[in-house]
Amino acid sequence: MGARARAREPVRTCISCRRPRPKAQMVRFVRRPDGAVVVDRTGTEQGRGAYACPEQRCLTVAIVRLPGTLKSKDIDIDRIRADLAGVGVA
């Protein structure tokens, strides 16, 4: 693997504003195999993921879009907000 391939940082698109940003700058939401939707603090949890910018306006829209994006009807919004506060984002 060349130096150029190693230097590339993964890019993800915000589900709110649709702006691409480096993965490390995004907040990841994940639907775990058990169906629970949580904020993925490590970025490595197994399950279907979605990314949002850490700005409040993007997070607000992202929370509304999560059921469709993660294909899950049962999302505990209070848990998501608590997880975001625990990460220091919201």
pTM (global) more than 0.75: yes
Q: Mean pLDDT over residues 23-46, rounded?
A: 94
CATH classification number, 9-75, choose in 3.40.1210.10, 3.40.640.10, 3.30.460.20, 3.30.1230.10:
3.30.1230.10
Q: Which pairs count as long-range contacts for 76-82, CB under 8 Å and 24+ apart, including other chains?
A: 76/36, 76/37, 79/37, 79/38, 80/29, 80/37, 80/38, 80/39
Between CA 1 and CA 15 the distance in angstroms is 31
Q: Mean pLDDT over residues 34-60, rounded?
A: 94
Strand, helix or coil for residue 44: coil
Q: What is the pLDDT of residue 14?
A: 98
Nearest to 45 by CA among 35, 34, 54, 32: 32
pLDDT digits 0-9 by tens, 1-11: 555 656 789 99
Q: CB–CB of 66/81 below 8 Å?
A: no
